[in-house]
């Protein structure tokens, strides 16, 4: 890629705040429409992919390839009866879904969709806005989304929604810790919290020496910070309440969780917030770890790959790929138990993240190393960390005694137990019915054999 072009076209914080009002309004509308259309197509995409995994067609009747099925479902929900529980807090019950939707859409305002382009003669970044702490804005929006779920469960005035809301609050707090620590590694490497600055840092190619030949390697943090990328993606799935971490909904345990008492458009808003959050977090992952709008190799061999409007295509392609991984997980993995889920977040992800940050800080403190040596040491450290996690010795559980052994170990004078081989005798009516049917079966069997 041409270095002069990068210096001229990469957005900086100084490029924001200079656009005319109509251009700012157009960017806001574009970000909102992107979130809405991505949600509509995301629902259709998920149903088609899961249908293909389950060897069935999926939606294919409404519109070409069933593309209008999601729109038809939204219209169906709009005309359904809106039920308000008698014990519900009416004001909070009404506004809870809108909090989740607004929080998910607001995070798109600091996502860079592309470089600086010319729009009606004005050179402007393809981003609504950017601030020195843009990533913290994304974390704040993600944290605010839990309020809609918790308030919706509490305001319903029912047991199952309340339990679903409490589960969601504990889940998001637990996995936001791991997510925040993963982003710390990005801050340490990029030296900035600005989203446009992080994308610009990932555009710098590094040189690796393989077999005596210098080979340019991409500066994507998904490669340089592989443990952080893996932990961030796992925490992101838990943060968005997606399978196998969809425990706040858990229809087998909580009917539908925090959405049990919702219907009509309010239910549709909760579903919309879930899919908008999935698309938004995919865009955040693309920005922080996958180079943002920059083209992947070997497209970078084309000199104009990161110029003009082409980078939007690469950005959307990466987002669609991550959404596919979301759907893939839903169609593949079973739901975890709640205790397994919380144990995984606090006892596995959190310690690995802390150790990895210490290792990364130690590597960055060594100024004499070359880039290739740092990459090699990082890869070795990540491999050792993963191997230690996989093969860490666990304490074997003692075999559980049999029921008879448990009964024999009871102290003298305990309440008597019935015999272990106790069989409930059949009722007299069952004996009479069986006796009446047996002659008929014998006669029918003999006749069939004679024929």
Given a cut of 90, whether residue 318 has pLDDT beyond it is yes
Rounded Cα gap, residues 372 and 383, in angstroms:
16
Average pLDDT of the residues in 182-198? 90
Residue range 270-299: mean pLDDT, rounded:
89
Confidence of residue 379 (pLDDT cuts 50, 70, 90): low
Question: Quick one: average pLDDT of 406-420?
Answer: 70
pLDDT higher than threshold 50 for residue 4: no
- 3, pLDDT greater than 50: no
Return the DSSP state at 241: T
Q: Are 159 and 87 in contact (CB under 8 A)?
A: no
Tell me, what DSSP letter sits at residue 299?
G
The more confident residue out of 51 and 446 is 51
Model confidence band, residue 387 (pLDDT cutoffs 50, 70, 90): low
- Using CB atoms within 10 A of its CB, is residue 32 exposed (0-12), middle (13-18) or buried (19+)? middle
Residue 306 has pLDDT above 90, yes or no: no
Q: Is the dihedral of CA 138, 139, 142, 144 positive or negative?
A: negative
Give the mean model confidence (pLDDT) for residues 354-359: 86
pLDDT in tens, 204-242: 655 444 444 454 455 788 888 888 899 999 998 888 878
Of 52-66, 164-178, 234-248, the range with the highest mean pLDDT is 52-66
Distance of alpha carbon 244 from alpha carbon 72, whole angstroms: 28
Q: What is the mean pLDDT of residues 419-444?
A: 59
Per-residue DSSP letter, 415: P
Task: Taking the CA atoms of 283, 286, 287 and 293 in sequence, report the sign of the dihedral they define.
Answer: negative
Q: What is the pLDDT of residue 13?
A: 83
DSSP structure string for 69-135? HHHHHHHHHHTS-----TTS-HHHHHHHHHHHHHHHHHGGGG---EEEEEETTEEEEESS---TTHH
Q: Higher model confidence: residue 205 or residue 91?
A: 91
pLDDT at site 6 = 41
For residue 304, the model assigns a pLDDT of 79
Evaluate if residue 451 carries a pLDDT over 50: no
Long-range contacts, stretch 269-272, CB < 8 angstroms, 24+ apart: 269/97, 269/98, 269/100, 269/101, 270/97, 270/100, 270/148, 270/152, 271/43, 272/39, 272/101
pLDDT (mean) for 288-312: 85
| Sign of CA pseudo-dihedral 174, 175, 181, 184 | negative
Q: Which residue, among 313, 331, 266, has the nearest Cα to 99 in the 3D structure? A: 266
- The segment with the largest mean pLDDT, out of 8-17, 58-67, 254-263, is 58-67
Of residues 121 and 428, more confidently modeled: 121
Global pTM value = 0.78
Contact by Cβ (8 Å): 99, 276: no
Query: Higher model confidence: residue 263 or residue 404?
Result: 263
Q: What is the DSSP string of 343-404?
A: HHIIIIIHHHHHHHHHHHHHHHT--SS-HHHHHHHHHHHHHHHHHHHHT---PPPPPPPPHH
Please classify residue 400 by burial: count the beta carbons closer than 10 Å to its beta carbon, then call 0-12 exposed, 13-18 middle and 19+ buried.
exposed
The whole-number average pLDDT for the span 415-441 is: 62
In the three-class reduction of DSSP (H, G, I as helix; E, B as strand; rest coil), residue 63 is classed as coil
Residue 183 Cα distances to 107, 190, 196, 198, angstroms? 16, 10, 15, 11
pLDDT of residue 435: 66
Measure Cα distances from 138 to 98, 105, 142 in Å: 18, 10, 6
What is the pLDDT at residue 30?
Answer: 92
Strand boundaries in 165-285, DSSP class E: 206-210, 213-217
The structural domains of the chain, with segments of one domain joined by +, span 3-390
- For position 209, what pLDDT does the model report? 44
Contact 99, 134 (CB under 8 A): no
| Average pLDDT across the chain, whole number | 80
pLDDT for residue 356 is more than 90 = no
Q: Above pLDDT 70, what percent of the chain?
A: 77
Phi, psi of 184 (to 5 degrees): -60, -40
3-state helix/strand/coil string of 149-179: HHHHHHHCCCHHHHHHHHHHHHHHHHHHHHH
Which of these, 326, 304, 168, lies nearest to 236 by C-alpha position? 326
3-state secondary structure of 216: strand
First to last CA, the chain: 88
Average pLDDT on 363-367 reads 71
| pLDDT score at 372 | 56
Residue 295's nearest CA partner among 308, 313, 319 is 313
Q: Does pLDDT of 120 surpass 60? A: yes
Residue 217: strand pairing partners? 206
- pLDDT reported for residue 314: 93
Q: What is the four-CA torsion angle of 40, 46, 52, 57, rounded to 10 degrees?
A: -40
The answer on pLDDT for 2 being more than 60 is no
pLDDT at residue number 223: 84
């Amino acid at each position: 890629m041409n270095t002069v072009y990068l210096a001229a076209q990469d957005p900086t914080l100084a490029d924001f705040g200079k656009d005319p009002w109509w251009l700012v309004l157009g960017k806001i509308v574009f970000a909102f429409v992107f979130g809405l259309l991505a949600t509509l197509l995301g629902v259709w995409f998920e149903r088609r992919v899961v249908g293909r995994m389950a060897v069935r067609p999926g939606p294919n009747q409404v519109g070409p390839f069933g593309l209008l099925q999601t729109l038809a479902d939204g219209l169906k929900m709009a005309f359904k009866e809106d039920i308000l529980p008698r014990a519900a807090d009416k004001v909070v019950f009404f506004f809870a879904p809108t909090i989740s939707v607004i929080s998910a859409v607001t995070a798109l305002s600091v996502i860079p969709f592309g470089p600086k382009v010319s729009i009606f003669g004005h050179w402007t970044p393809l981003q609504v806005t950017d601030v020195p702490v843009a990533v913290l804005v994304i974390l704040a929006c993600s944290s605010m989304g839990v309020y809609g779920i918790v308030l919706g469960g509490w305001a319903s005035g029912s047991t199952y929604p309340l339990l679903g809301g409490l589960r969601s609050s504990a889940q998001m707090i637990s996995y936001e810790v791991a997510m925040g620590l993963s982003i710390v590694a990005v801050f340490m490497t990029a030296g900035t919290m600005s989203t446009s600055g992080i994308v610009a840092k990932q555009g710098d190619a590094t040189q690796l020496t393989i077999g005596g030949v210098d080979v340019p390697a991409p500066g994507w943090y998904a490669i340089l910070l592989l443990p952080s990328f893996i932990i961030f993606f796992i925490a992101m799935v838990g943060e968005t309440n997606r399978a196998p971490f969809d425990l706040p909904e858990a229809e087998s345990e909580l009917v539908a969780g925090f959405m049990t008492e919702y219907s009509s458009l309010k239910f549709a808003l909760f579903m919309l917030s879930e899919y908008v959050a999935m698309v938004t977090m995919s865009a955040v992952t693309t920005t922080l770890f996958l180079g943002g709008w920059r083209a992947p190799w070997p497209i970078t061999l084309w000199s104009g790959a990161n110029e003009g409007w082409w980078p939007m295509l690469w950005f959307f392609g990466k987002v669609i790929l991550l959404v596919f991984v979301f759907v893939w997980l839903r169609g593949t993995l079973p739901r975890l138990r709640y205790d397994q889920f919380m144990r995984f977040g606090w006892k596995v992800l959190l310690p690995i993240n802390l150790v990895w940050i210490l290792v990364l800080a130690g590597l960055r403190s060594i100024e004499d190393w070359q880039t290739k040596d740092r990459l090699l040491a990082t890869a070795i450290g990540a491999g050792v960390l993963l191997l230690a996690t996989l093969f860490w010795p666990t304490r074997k559980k003692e075999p559980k005694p049999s029921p008879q052994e448990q009964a024999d170990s009871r102290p003298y004078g305990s309440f008597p137990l019935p015999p272990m081989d106790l069989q409930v005798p059949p009722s007299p009516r069952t004996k009479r019915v069986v006796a009446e049917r047996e002659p008929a079966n014998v006669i029918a069997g003999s006749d069939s054999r004679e024929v």
